[in-house]
Amino acid sequence: CLCIERYWAGFVYPTSVWVGDSPVLQFLLKCQLVKEKMNGLSTDDIYTKKQVEKGLIKLQILTDLPVTGVADEKVLKMVSTNKCPVKAQEPLKLISKQKTRKACRCNSVLDYNGNGECRSTFQGYRWCYVDPGSGCRDRRWTGGTWWSWAACSRR
């Protein structure tokens, strides 16, 4: 993990993050990438590292960054602008790009453990194997095969 501990500042417990000390968490909440707690409890401003990591993954998928779940330099630059990314800012350009790009979809492959086809999760998100030329922007190469989270989110 390339976690930059100063950005995880504000621990109440080693596995938690306080909103007041984390600009990254504040940004993820503002952009609705982490669900805001509204229980009326004194702990409503405390989140787990896992919740922050999942929010970072959503942000990275949305902005076509490498999906790591870590607040790297590119994420921190986005946080510093304080502008939430907007999905499909230019819909006409996206539509024309999609026509030339192969679709992002699962390829029906299962591994020897029965994983793939959105049946299991990695880092809290469902995934599947995809073809080498698939249009999945988050496509990753691991263990001799390509896989993607995005293909499962399109189902």
Successive 10-residue mean pLDDT values, the chain, 155 residues: 46 67 84 79 76 86 81 87 67 42 86 86 90 87 85 80
- What is the C-alpha separation between 109 and 112, in angstroms, rounded? 10
147 - beta bridge partners?
Answer: 129, 140
Say what the pLDDT of residue 49 is: 84
155 HSE (CA, 13 A, CB side): 15
> Which amino acid would we find at residue 60?
Q
122 - beta bridge partners?
Answer: 125
Say what the pLDDT of residue 99 is: 46
pLDDT per residue over 97-141, tens digit each?
444 567 899 999 888 788 889 998 988 899 999 988 888 988 888
Which residue carries 């993990």 as its tokens? 1
Q: Strand 128-129 vs strand 121-122: parallel, antiparallel, or unpaired?
A: unpaired
Say what the pLDDT of residue 118 is: 93
Evaluate whether 17 touches 11 at the Cβ level (below 8 Å): yes
